[in-house]
Amino acid sequence: MPPVTAPDAQPPTKPCSTAADEPCPHADRPGPVPPGLTAASRAPLAPAPAEPLTSTSSDVEVEGWKVYVSEAVAAPAWDQKELTVGQLSERSGAAVSALHFYERKGLISSRRTSGNQRRYPRGMLRRVALIRIGQRVGIPLADIKAALDQLPDGRTPTKKDWERLSRSWREELDERIRMLQQVRDDFTDCIGCGCLSLNRCSLANRHDELGKHGEGARRLVESA
């Protein structure tokens, strides 16, 4: 009795004789359908979605390999002293991968459980909030770290500690606010960047005179 094949089965293709270091010209030709399957069942699977680094992942070291383990994230109780990385992510709005990054850079810290899972003191939420706000207003991570380094190690910062930190940032923030206002109000006009593309630039920045003052948008930089 002849072998049973699916109706749309194709004859087996001969092995490709292309040299090993050349791409196979038949790479996209579908192979024969195995007995008992239909062409539809051979349809390529949709690519598996990349595993999102969401707040429901936690990393665990197993024999030197870092693996991500899903865990259900329950909102931390208000009096919960320590948070898992998922809970810190959920409450702070920072992705788990971002929290790991902050930790690698020494901006935040955690203790490890006997199962090698991270646990963060609840006060870490305030640090993460400060990091995220700082980044949002364009403060370099190194400056944020320098500010956070002023906070005491090993104890929850007090109101006075935070006051000291915000004082040290005041000047920097004022400067940024001035610059943002400048951009908001003057970006429609010549900013002295050297483009000479606006109609009045050749008058406002004739022959790119401002280029002699240095790099960048001189008019914005100098008036900020």
Cβ atoms of 35 and 51 closer than 8 Å = no
Q: How far is the CB of 176 from ligand FES (least distance, A)?
A: 22
Comparison of 6 and 198: residue with beta carbon closer to ligand FES? 198
Comparison of 157 and 194: residue with beta carbon closer to ligand FES? 194
Question: What is the C-alpha separation between 152 and 122, in angstroms, rounded?
Answer: 15
Q: How far is the CB of 201 from ligand FES (least distance, A)?
A: 3
Of 75-134, which residues contact ligand FES (CB under 6 A)? none
Structure tokens at 146: 């320098």
Q: How far is the CB of 210 from ligand FES (least distance, A)?
A: 7
Give the 3-state DSSP-derived string for 95-160, with helices as H, strands as E and coil as C: CHHHHHHHHHCCCCCCEECCCCCEEEECCHHHHHHHHHHHHHCCCCHHHHHHHHCCCCCCCCCCHH
Of 158-197, which residues contact ligand FES (CB under 6 A)? 190-196
201 lies in the site for ligand FES, by CB under 6 A: yes
Question: What is the C-alpha separation between 40 and 35, in angstroms, rounded?
Answer: 13
Handedness of CA 54, 58, 59, 62 (dihedral sign): negative
Structure tokens at 24: 């196979």
* Region near ligand FES per CB under 6 A, out of 77-85, 107-115, 139-147, 201-209: 201-209
Q: How far is the CB of 215 from ligand FES (least distance, A)?
A: 13
Size of the site for ligand FES (CB under 6 A): 11
221 lies in the site for ligand FES, by CB under 6 A: no
Q: Which residues of this protein are in contact with ligand FES, per CB under 6 A?
A: 190-196, 198, 201, 204-205
